[in-house]
Structure 1
Amino acid sequence: MIIVCQRLLKNTKISAITLFPLIILRKQELRQNKILINHEKIHLRQQLELLIIFFYLWYVIEYYYWFFKLKNHHLAYQSISFEMEAYAMENDLNYLEKRKFWSFWKCTLGI
């Protein structure tokens, strides 16, 4: 399900966020952005694979690992294995049809 919640993301640089089972968008027109929606759908699949709660735990742990190692918020975010997979495959609109279980694992480096 996709919802638009301008108040939630209003004062952030975030265009969208996936909080299972929702994809929350900052602006209505982002519903038409197939690449962004595909990116967020990849996160939905990752969340399901890790039974949702373990996705969030892993995400936070990995973020802080990279943040303390790199001392940079943006680089830490980009280094999270879930984000690496989603960004690498967001342009392939058929990716989820052929994606293998735990494909984000290939992107996990250093942990």
Structure 2
Amino acid sequence: MALLDNEKCILPISSIAELLSTKPRTLKMYEEKGLFPQAEGKIKKLYSINDVRYIAFVHYLASIKKINANGIKYILEMLLNNMDEKNRNDFLDIVETKLEKISTKDVEDIENF
């Protein structure tokens, strides 16, 4: 059995939306604003497992922290320009741990507030 390649683009936005308990349209809106890594595929855009962590971070900033697209772009730019890959991955691990503690109901309560 081959090891899983986290860089291979295999996930459509609808699957990522299901993983994050959000609507595909929400993620497409982030994508249209240029907040996601470049997707592979011309007709159906696909993302890697590593991209999901990045997308989850963007979704967290937008939906939980209520940061607008320009603020998110600035944060992402700071991460990409000022952190090496190891520190960036460590940071995303910390964010992922925090996201696991947030329930879907918490997110819905915030969205309905």
Q: Under TM normalisation by the shorter chain, which class is it?
A: 0.3 to 0.5
Higher RCO structure (Cα 8 Å, ≥6 apart) = 2
Q: When you count strand as a share of all residues, which structure comes out higher?
A: 1
What TM-score do you get using the length of structure 2 for normalisation?
0.38
Normalization by structure 1: what TM-score? 0.38
